[in-house]
Amino acid sequence: MTTTHTARTEGHPTRETAVFAHPDHTLVRVRGDLDIATAPVLREQLIAALRPRTGPLILDLSGVSFCDAAGLAVLIGIQRRAVARGIVMLLAAPGPRLSALLELTGLDRGLSVHQTVTDARVWSRTHTDVIRHQPHRVSSAIPAR
């Protein structure tokens, strides 16, 4: 199943998501800006992607061109919701700017970040014991507010 959504700000598309439901995981491809204007819609789309699934949620961030604090807040919030449901969230293929931002903020230590979507898929398949029994161990370094 594939679902595509586009968030528009002032008539211009600024972010697009596509959700691909696979038997063993859900892949969400995010394109464009992840900022204060697009974050609320993305948050709702990611919450919806968590609802019907129990397998890992993989966010393909290769197409993210910009991310601000609101975008990071969405990633942290969805991570917490996923862990509460026993679901592991994996970030895949962040570009150089987003990777630097995750490193600068320390979120690279609290979120499971992989260089490619394939790396995330392989990791999720080879770590099924952690995913099924201890999803909080995958990324428990994010401090609570």
Predicted confidence (pLDDT) per residue in 97-129, tens digit: 999 999 999 999 999 999 999 999 999 988 866
Tell me, yes or no, whether 89 lies in a domain. Answer: yes
Tell me, yes or no, whether 75 lies in a domain. Answer: yes
Instruction: Give the CATH number of the domain where residue 116 resides.
Output: 3.30.750.24
User: And the tokens for 92?
Assistant: 């895949």
| Confidence check: pLDDT of 135 > 90 | no
Domain range for 39 is 14-137
85 secondary structure, DSSP code: T
Tell me, yes or no, whether 128 lies in a domain. Answer: yes
Kindly state the average pLDDT of the residues 73-98.
Answer: 96
Kindly state the average pLDDT of the residues 51-56.
Answer: 81
Tell me, yes or no, whether 1 lies in a domain. Answer: no
Tell me, yes or no, whether 4 lies in a domain. Answer: no
Tell me, yes or no, whether 7 lies in a domain. Answer: no
Tell me, yes or no, whether 122 lies in a domain. Answer: yes
Q: ∠ at Cα 141 (51, 139), nearest 5°?
A: 40
Q: What span, in angstroms and rounded, lies between the C-alpha atoms of 76 and 19? A: 19
Model pTM above 0.75: yes
What is the tally of structural domains in the chain?
1
Output the pLDDT for position 15: 80
Which residue bears the tokens 């790396």?
Answer: 119
| Confidence check: pLDDT of 38 > 90 | yes
Count CA atoms closer than 13 A to 132's CA, side-chain side: 6
Beta bridge partners of 89: 57
Q: ∠ at Cα 74 (70, 80), nearest 5°?
A: 140
Which residue bears the tokens 């968590």?
Answer: 50
Tell me, yes or no, whether 51 lies in a domain. Answer: yes
